[in-house]
């Protein structure tokens, strides 16, 4: 039979054990929580570094595209104006030889189109490092859509020149020597309409090029801000 005094000592020992046990549990939980938070902190820091690297690639790519747009603008504008002048000459009904048609005829056979790069842009849009730059991603999606539209118009533009314009004149002119052999087809209504369509394409491509450049320029400032 346990004595009353002994029972009290056992009760005190048990209480002490419970307190010790609770402290140990608290230390373990606290340690796990701290370790988890540290792991989250370092993972977030790593993700931020990776995202910054991806943003820098997008920025470099974007600036290369902008430089290309800037180089093309004068050539594209001149090509649009030459196409407009050729259409004016064809519809004026004047003497084609006296109008200096050969200059415009051979000049508008040239093709100036942008070779847009957006591999870095696609890579960044497909990553999910953080949720800190959702607004930037939305802007980049807008830019990508503009690039896709511009690329499709440029491809159609090149195909039209190669398939219709060049083939239409293949027996009429010597493209190598830039010499007109006959004006028979050049005087036709079909060719006049073809040149009008070409002018429409030149205008559309130039408009999209300017729009894409404007969006790219705005985003360039945003990218520079994110890299600081």
Q: How many domains is the chain built from?
A: 1
What would the pLDDT profile of 93-132 be if each residue is shown by its tens digit? Answer: 766 666 678 888 888 888 888 889 989 999 999 988 877 8
**CB atoms < 10 A from the CB of 77, how many?**
14
Q: Which domain holds residue 184?
A: 4-227
> How far apart, in Å, are the Cα atoms of 1 and each of 6, 12, 15, 184, 197?
10, 19, 22, 130, 112
Asked if 195 and 87 touch (Cβ cutoff 8 Å), the reply is yes
- Of residues 138, 153, 130, 156, the one with CA closest to residue 215: 138
Tokens of 218: 């705005």
> Quick one: average pLDDT of 210-216?
93
- Of residues 107, 47, 113, the one with CA closest to residue 83: 107
Query: Distance between CA atoms of 112 and 71, rounded to whole angstroms?
Result: 10
Query: Distance between CA atoms of 225 and 193, rounded to whole angstroms?
Result: 49
Query: Distance between CA atoms of 147 and 138, rounded to whole angstroms?
Result: 14
What would the pLDDT profile of 41-90 be if each residue is shown by its tens digit? Answer: 565 567 678 888 889 999 999 999 999 999 998 999 999 999 998 898 88
Q: What is the pTM of this model?
A: 0.75
User: What is the percent of the chain where pLDDT is above 90?
Assistant: 35
Q: Which of 25-29, 85-89, 113-117, 215-219 has the lowest mean pLDDT?
A: 25-29
């Amino acid at each position: 039979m346990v004595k009353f005094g002994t029972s009290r000592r056992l009760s005190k020992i048990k209480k002490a054990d419970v307190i010790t046990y609770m402290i140990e549990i608290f230390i373990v939980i606290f340690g796990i929580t701290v370790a988890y938070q540290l792991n989250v902190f370092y993972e977030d820091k790593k993700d931020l570094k990776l995202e910054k690297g991806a943003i820098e690639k997008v920025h470099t790519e974007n600036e290369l595209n902008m430089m290309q747009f800037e180089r093309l603008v004068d050539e594209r504008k001149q090509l649009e104006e030459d196409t407009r002048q050729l259409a004016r000459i064809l519809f004026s009904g004047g003497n084609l030889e006296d109008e200096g048609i050969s200059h415009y005829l051979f000049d508008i056979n040239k093709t100036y189109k942008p070779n847009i790069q957006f591999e870095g842009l696609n890579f960044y849009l497909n990553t999910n490092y953080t949720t800190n730059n959702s607004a930037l991603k939305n802007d980049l999606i807008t830019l990508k859509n503009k690039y896709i539209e511009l690329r499709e118009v440029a491809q159609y533009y090149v195909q039209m020149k190669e398939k219709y314009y060049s083939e239409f004149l293949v027996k009429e002119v010597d493209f190598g020597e830039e010499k007109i052999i006959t004006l028979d087809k050049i005087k036709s209504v079909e060719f006049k309409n073809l040149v009008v369509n070409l002018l429409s394409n030149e205008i559309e491509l130039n408009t999209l090029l300017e729009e894409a450049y404007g969006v790219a320029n705005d985003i360039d400032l945003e990218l520079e801000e994110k890299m600081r």
